[in-house]
Amino acid sequence: MQARHLALQVATVLHTAPDRFAELAATHSEDVATSQSQGELGGVNAIEFLSTPAILDALASMKVGEVSEVVETRCGFHVLLRRALLPDQVVSGAHVVIGHRDARWLYRFGSDGTLPERSRDEALSLANDVYLQARTHPERFVQYVKQYSEHRDAQQDGDLGEWSTREVPRMARHVDVLASLEVGEVAPPIETFYGFEILIRTPDTQRKRYAMESIQLAFDSEVPEGRPRSRASAWNEASEIAASLAADSQRWTSLQKAHCCLGIEAWSQGRSSAELEKRLDELRVGEVMTSPVQANSSFVIARAVASLPISPRALVRLELPDPGAPDIRYLAGRLNPATVESSLREFSTSTAALLGLSGQEEVRFRTMHELGASFAGNSSAPERRKLFSRAQQQIEASLTRAQVESYRLALSKVFEKLVLSTSELAHRKDQ
């Protein structure tokens, strides 16, 4: 229990001196992704802590500036500081990535499957040298990207895209750093899973919008060539699919259902791979790529669709909600659809007796809960919510007021049980 003892010591100090958090995080934290940035996580949405509910519970009870008690998760012991959110703003930036032999994310997601042979200390030394050059001559940053950066996005001048401080992106720490800079200012190196990154804040510009449907074949760079899920295996399969579509484009729907990913993805320029954006520039709406392109750890065959309008950003809630009951319509769209459909069938059988239904009433009640294949096979969360809401309205219209109250209470318990029995919500990208 040495780890717990150390965590208790750290928490005791921080309860009287919270201003020492950065110092103690840099000294004691064993999280390689955040220890070099004084424990900074950046802005994080509550949903990101679904797999670590103890952390979510601790943060929910804390005020800005407070330090938590020791929190235990499967990753170890944590001491948390809740800080204020950054002002609402949009930031753009670019980066130079200096890798090393232990930067596995660079190997798996950010490169062509190779890693530099330098050590972490050598990478840090080089990153500091690049930072000093870039700080002195920020106008040459693109030149430093092309000269030093080992990330695939060097092809797009290290552009990180445009992000809001009210989003909860994979770029949370980067956004926090960029928001602290003036346009044209360069930040000291930060350590990430990609290695060391030197960031510059760039001017906000009007960015092109992209939208696509896709078939994606994921691979693992660490799997030996010739085995399933290896880079070569995924490339060969993706190439075969692309050739099949070139011969018969009508197979798109069946092939897309057999692989990832259903639905439409949309983004602004710089937030996806340069290769993917370049290839989409070459397509007309409705056209399909004739060969795959790599995006992160997948090979993608895309079909261009009309660019979607930018929706107004939803009002951000800065505190965790405390509802009296779960939002079952939202959950119906986000939880595993097959599980929801199956649970509703079981629920209708047990609840019919609770409501005093019998004969034709019971049969009709149970039939109305049979959402069927149109629900379980639908990849769109909004469409599943519509199907569920329509069924719920029809069911409640057939009940008395007293029965509706009992029905809603019982239905809430079903979804509470579903949430507690699953580690994460399904279809995370599908809002």
428 assigned to some structural domain? no
Domain boundary among 269, 304, 339: 304
- Kind and range of the H or E element at 117? none
Confidence of residue 193 (pLDDT cuts 50, 70, 90): confident
426 assigned to some structural domain? no
Alpha helices in 77-182 (DSSP H): 104-105, 120-136, 141-148, 172-179
92-115: pLDDT as tens digits? 999 999 999 888 888 777 776 677
pLDDT at 37: 67
Say if residue 194 is in the same domain as residue 94. Answer: yes
Across 261-375, where does the E strand assignment appear?
A: 265-268, 293-295, 298-304
95 assigned to some structural domain? yes
Domain tally for the chain?
4
Arithmetic mean of pLDDT, 339-348: 86
Arithmetic mean of pLDDT, 21-33: 83
Is cis: bond before 75, omega within 30 of 0? Answer: no
pLDDT at 363: 86
Task: Tell me: pLDDT of 383 over 70.
Answer: yes
332-341: pLDDT as tens digits? 888 888 888 8
Classify 28 as helix, strand or coil.
helix
Task: Compute the mean pLDDT over every residue in the chain, rounded to the nearest whole number.
Answer: 85
Classify 175 as helix, strand or coil.
helix
The CATH number of residue 238's host domain is: 3.10.50.40
Say if residue 71 is in the same domain as residue 131. Answer: no
Say if residue 279 is in the same domain as residue 364. Answer: no
Classify 89 as helix, strand or coil.
coil
Task: Tell me the C-alpha distance between 273 and 153, whole Å.
Answer: 7
pTM metric for this prediction: 0.63
Highest mean pLDDT: which range of 31-40, 44-53, 282-291, 332-341: 282-291
137-190: pLDDT as tens digits? 999 999 999 999 999 899 899 999 999 887 765 777 888 899 999 999 999 999
Confidence of residue 322 (pLDDT cuts 50, 70, 90): low
Say if residue 45 is in the same domain as residue 131. Answer: no
Say if residue 155 is in the same domain as residue 127. Answer: yes
Say if residue 339 is in the same domain as residue 412. Answer: yes
Arithmetic mean of pLDDT, 326-345: 84
Range of the domain at 335: 328-420
Q: CA 275: distance to chain centroid? A: 21
427 assigned to some structural domain? no
Return the amino acid letter for 73: T
